[in-house]
Amino acid sequence: MVTEITYAMATAKGAKSFVIWSTGALVAVVALAGCQGDELAAIPPLGNVDGYVCHPVLDELAPGVTVEGPTLRDEVVSTVTDLSGYFYLEDVLAGPRPRILTVTGPDFTSTIEVPYVVANALTRAPDPSCLDAGMGVVTGRICATEQGLIGSGEGYWLANAYVYVNAGDTTYEAHTDADGYFTMSVRVGTHTLMVDKGSFHAETQIVVLQGETTTLAYVCFEPTTQIAVVTGMFDSVETILVDLGFTIRDCIPAGFSKCPANLDPDGSITLVEGESTAYLTDLLDDWLLLNEYEIVFFNCGLTDQHIFNPPPSISTNLQGFVNGGGSIYVSDRAYEILRVIFPGTFDFVGDESSWGSDRDSGWVGVLDNFLSADITDSTLADVVGTSTVNLVYDKGGWVPLNPSQPGSVVSWMTGDVAIEGSPDVSDQTLNDAPLLASVPYGAGRIVFTTFHNSENVSAEMTAILRYIVFEL
């Protein structure tokens, strides 16, 4: 018979003693002479164990049964399995010696042998034979934010969101449809259901029962993705983000003219002044600060004359940010950010050797309050419920894209665009020119819109812009 003994070191007035328990009783206190501060191992380490229980006769997962395991001083810890037969047992004796867990149900008793309990970690007990046999169905709906759901009564349902469950070595997965619904088969058990869409992530616990359907009314993203918005004179994408449930936490610099009076310390948006050099010196030139964000928006009308010849660190930082998985969203005349720092990603109309207001044939888009645009992405068209929308170009002199783009550019919307001619050349039309486009860059993404987000407030355009935000 092997008796487990627990040891501990005691110190009193500089003298050390070795205290020994066996079977919960104090056996001896041994004084240690001549020790020079060497500490002996104290109480044995503990770990946590989880897993599933099968009924030994019925060969099905067993809910509501008791699972016990050994802990300190020959005592036991216990828990009860949930509706899927899953248990989570804390403070089990750790180490390479096998630990036997005792299972007690209303009509059976069995054991589970755990070969090795890892100290200060979670160890999975061997899966029982009935676990792999059981499958259930999970269905539900994914929304953008719960704040939007509560505020509007309908929320914003996310299309093409990736929904998945990792169960052992198997990943069960699905994508949401145009209305945000998903359905997938998942192995029986308690799992974490996860959702990814662009830079956004959500998760929730689910219980899957054999042959049954688990229905989730909705799973929403928390508005915690860290976002920087660079302001501009002609656009304000931040209004769309606020409508989605995101709130403004702080401003750079503090208290500048567009900084709201009521900030939310738990918010996720940092508003950065774009009508000065603050966005360059205080954001893009600060690598550590820039990398606190996952998305950076550049509004049309930022001060761009300082970007034509930026310090090398600014270009390096923003390129590294996107290459490492960050996303940027640029509207209209903020395009000089792309021409300077990401040359060649898009092909803009105009002379590539000049800049800003002096750029020949650059700011040539014609004012048009009813430009008919074709939605060329089928998923986006399903979300909006139409393949054609009207765009508002409230100001002349916007920046068009050439119809032919580099091969990696994805055109989400296209249209026939009128551009101003020179004094000697009449106005021209660019057929099927991209109006909303994106391009991958390393692990990240760049999105460019030729139109102003704040002026396109129809239901269809709001749906499009929200969809694109969650693609970032």
Segment 14-27 shows an average pLDDT of 45
Asked if residue 400 belongs to a domain, the reply is yes
Residues 12, 119 within the same domain? no
For the segment 314-337, what is each residue's pLDDT rounded down to a tens digit?
A: 999 999 999 999 999 999 989 999
Asked if residue 129 belongs to a domain, the reply is no
For the segment 211-236, what is each residue's pLDDT rounded down to a tens digit?
A: 788 999 888 877 778 999 999 998 88
Q: How many domains would you assign to the chain?
A: 4
Residues 188, 279 within the same domain? no
- This prediction has a pTM of 0.66
For the segment 446-460, what is each residue's pLDDT rounded down to a tens digit?
A: 999 998 876 766 777
For the segment 66-111, what is each residue's pLDDT rounded down to a tens digit?
A: 999 999 988 999 999 987 788 999 999 999 899 999 999 999 999 9
Asked if residue 272 belongs to a domain, the reply is yes
Residues 253, 321 within the same domain? yes
CATH of the domain at 54: 2.60.40.1120
Among residues 93, 124, 155, the one where a domain terminates is 124
Segment 387-398 shows an average pLDDT of 86
Residues 282, 418 within the same domain? yes
Among residues 96, 124, 152, the one where a domain terminates is 124
Residues 174, 251 within the same domain? no
For the segment 267-281, what is each residue's pLDDT rounded down to a tens digit?
A: 889 999 999 999 999
Residues 139, 286 within the same domain? no
Residues 333, 460 within the same domain? yes
Residues 234, 285 within the same domain? yes
Token digits for 215?
């229905």
Residues 231, 185 within the same domain? no
Asked if residue 336 belongs to a domain, the reply is yes
Residues 260, 405 within the same domain? yes
Residues 251, 334 within the same domain? yes
Kindly state the percentage of the chain with pLDDT values over 90.
44
What pLDDT does 43 receive?
75
Identify the domain containing residue 39 by its residue range. 1-43
Question: Is 199 in contact with 182 (CB distance < 8 Å)?
Answer: no
Asked if residue 52 belongs to a domain, the reply is yes
What pLDDT does 279 receive?
93
Asked if residue 104 belongs to a domain, the reply is yes
Residues 96, 209 within the same domain? no
For the segment 119-141, what is each residue's pLDDT rounded down to a tens digit?
A: 999 998 988 877 665 788 899 99
Asked if residue 130 belongs to a domain, the reply is no
